[in-house]
């Protein structure tokens, strides 16, 4: 896997979405620009529309209002240049790790250099020793690594992760977070992570976009200035986590407190928003 992509440029303009005619909106007036090669977390409480937004960016659904452009082209359906990894690795259990990775290449009908590509991808995700093992005989973390290698096989410009590590133990999760970040950086991919885990957002990303309310809106947009090889033990990591927690806690405050103008926290860019949603 030697190719270094440009990383997708994502532009979302005035997006609103409802699933069915007559049902309420789940996202309202979302505008967001994601720079090529950047790593951004979409974070917020359960039900605020994070997965919906990711599916819309992936082209798995069409927004009711507004538009999404990737590298200047309007998203109208799925495309192999952008891939999504879900919480479940969704491997074929009776196939080996190598053959599961090869599925991504088969999908594109790419045969040339196939064996070498699979080997390079398994190496990239640290699973060279497990190439011939059936997926069902791998641990949860190893299965997610195979799913990552399969996703990378199609050489995407945009990698989207929807809480992909939430079923894993803390140490396995931390190792995968570190590796995914390093791989995205090395390949030049744009990465969008959906999570409600504050530490995960800080570990993997350099920016966090906070969604809140029903319908979900962007209520804060934070950047983290941390080294690439960041450690949760670094005081700057703790500071970034605290800032993100404070931004998220804005949603947890009672409605009367939330409507009062509060002084902006340094380097948190609050997004003007009608705080008309309910605070359950």
Binding site for ligand ATP (CB under 6 A): 19, 26, 44, 46-52, 196
Which residue matches tokens 């800080």? 202
Q: Please identify, using beta-carbon distances, which residue of 27 and 184 lies nearer to ligand ATP.
A: 27
The residue with its CB nearest to Mg ion is 51
Q: Please identify, using beta-carbon distances, which residue of 26 and 91 lies nearer to ligand ATP.
A: 26
Q: How far is the CB of 19 from ligand ATP (least distance, A)?
A: 3
Q: Please identify, using beta-carbon distances, which residue of 97 and 208 lies nearer to ligand ATP.
A: 208
Q: Please identify, using beta-carbon distances, which residue of 51 and 143 lies nearer to Mg ion.
A: 51
Q: How far is the CB of 208 from ligand ATP (least distance, A)?
A: 14
Evaluate whether 44 touches 213 at the Cβ level (below 8 Å): no
CA distances from 162 to 32, 52, 86, 123 (A): 18, 10, 5, 24
Q: Please identify, using beta-carbon distances, which residue of 2 and 23 lies nearer to ligand ATP.
A: 23
Evaluate whether 17 touches 63 at the Cβ level (below 8 Å): yes
Q: How far is the CB of 162 from Mg ion (least distance, A)?
A: 6
Which residues in this chain contact Mg ion in the complex, by CB under 5 A?
A: 51
- Binding at 46: pick from ligand ATP, Mg ion, none (beta carbon under 5-8 Å per type): ligand ATP
Task: Give the integer Cα–Cα distance in Å for 123 and 193.
Answer: 23
Q: Please identify, using beta-carbon distances, which residue of 5 and 216 lies nearer to ligand ATP.
A: 216
- Binding at 49: pick from ligand ATP, Mg ion, none (beta carbon under 5-8 Å per type): ligand ATP
Q: How far is the CB of 226 from Mg ion (least distance, A)?
A: 25
Q: How far is the CB of 47 from Mg ion (least distance, A)?
A: 8
Task: Give the integer Cα–Cα distance in Å for 91 and 272.
Answer: 42
Q: Please identify, using beta-carbon distances, which residue of 163 and 206 lies nearer to Mg ion.
A: 163
Task: Give the integer Cα–Cα distance in Å for 250 and 190.
Answer: 28
- The region, left, alpha or beta by phi > 0 then psi within -120 to 50, assigned to residue 53 is alpha
- Binding at 47: pick from Mg ion, ligand ATP, none (beta carbon under 5-8 Å per type): ligand ATP
Q: How far is the CB of 160 from ligand ATP (least distance, A)?
A: 12
- Binding at 164: pick from Mg ion, ligand ATP, none (beta carbon under 5-8 Å per type): none
Q: How far is the CB of 250 from ligand ATP (least distance, A)?
A: 16
């Amino acid at each position: 896997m030697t190719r270094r992509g440009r990383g997708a440029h994502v532009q979302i303009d005035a997006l609103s979405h409802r699933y069915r005619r007559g049902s309420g909106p789940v996202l309202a007036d979302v505008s967001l620009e994601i720079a090529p090669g950047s790593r951004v977390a979409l974070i917020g409480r359960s039900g605020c529309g994070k997965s919906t937004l990711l599916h819309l960016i992936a082209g798995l659904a069409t927004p009711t209002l507004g538009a999404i452009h990737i590298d200047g082209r309007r998203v109208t359906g799925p495309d192999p240049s952008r891939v999504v990894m879900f919480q479940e690795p969704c491997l074929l259990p009776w196939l080996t790790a190598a053959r599961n990775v090869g599925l991504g290449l088969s999908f594109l009908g790419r045969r040339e250099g196939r064996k070498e590509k699979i080997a390079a991808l398994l190496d990239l995700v640290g699973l060279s020793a497990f190439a011939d093992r059936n997926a069902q005989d791998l641990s949860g973390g190893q299965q997610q690594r195979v799913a990552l290698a399969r996703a990378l096989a199609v050489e995407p410009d945009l990698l989207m992760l929807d809480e992909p590590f939430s079923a894993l133990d803390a140490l396995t999760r931390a190792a995968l977070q570190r590796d995914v970040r390093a791989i995205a950086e090395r390949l030049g991919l744009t990465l969008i992570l959906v999570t409600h885990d504050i530490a995960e957002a800080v570990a993997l990303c350099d920016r966090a976009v906070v969604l809140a309310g029903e319908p979900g809106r962007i209520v804060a947009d934070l950047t983290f200035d941390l080294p690439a090889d960041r450690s949760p033990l670094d005081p700057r990591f703790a500071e970034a986590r605290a800032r993100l927690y404070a931004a998220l806690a804005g949603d947890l405050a009672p409605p009367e407190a939330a409507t009062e103008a509060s002084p902006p926290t340094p380097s948190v860019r609050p997004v003007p928003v009608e705080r008309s949603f309910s605070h359950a």
